[in-house]
């Protein structure tokens, strides 16, 4: 078990809030403020003007993946293909596709187009 501190904070200028995902056993789960069975339990929660701070206890093998909204563009604009993204997350390409399709549909659409182009023109 690992103790992890997560600050769910708001960034001005339309950037929005940070996001936390938990990766374990090839699966990605979104943290939405409560316990995530098989991944984490909330040990404590603190409230601040800028957001909340959570103290999580992570199950063995769980890796936290915190996303801070970039100042310009959208998260994930820098990924060139599904393989790179999946390798970074430590999950299969199929799991990466499921995660991104739900959370970042425009990124999924772009990476699908890259994958289709590579199939058509070889790589």
- Domain map (residue ranges) of the chain: 1-72, 75-123
Confidence of residue 123 (pLDDT cuts 50, 70, 90): low
Q: Which residues contact 50 (CB under 8 A, 6 or more apart)?
A: 9, 10
23, 89 Cβ separation under 8 angstroms? yes
pTM of structure: 0.80
Q: What is the pLDDT of residues 54-102, one digit of tens each?
A: 999 999 999 998 988 888 878 889 999 999 999 988 888 998 898 888 8
Q: What's the order of all strands across the beta sheet hosting 27-31? A: 27-31, 19-24, 63-67
What does the pLDDT average to over 18-47?
94
Task: Report which of residues 123 and 27 the model is more confident about.
Answer: 27
Task: Identify the helix (H) or strand (E) that includes residue 105.
Answer: helix 105-121
């Amino acid at each position: 078990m690992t103790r992890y501190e997560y600050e769910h904070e708001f960034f001005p200028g339309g950037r929005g809030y940070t996001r936390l995902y938990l990766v374990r056993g090839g699966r990605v789960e979104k943290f939405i403020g409560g316990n995530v069975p098989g991944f984490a339990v909330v040990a404590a929660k603190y409230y601040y003007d800028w957001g909340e701070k959570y103290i999580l206890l992570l199950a063995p093998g769980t890796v936290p993946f915190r996303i801070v909204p970039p100042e310009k563009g959208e998260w994930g604009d820098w990924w060139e293909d599904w393989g790179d993204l999946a390798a970074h997350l430590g999950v299969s390409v199929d799991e990466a596709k499921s995660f991104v399709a739900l959370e970042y549909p425009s990124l999924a659409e772009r990476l699908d187009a890259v994958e289709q182009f590579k199939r058509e023109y070889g790589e």
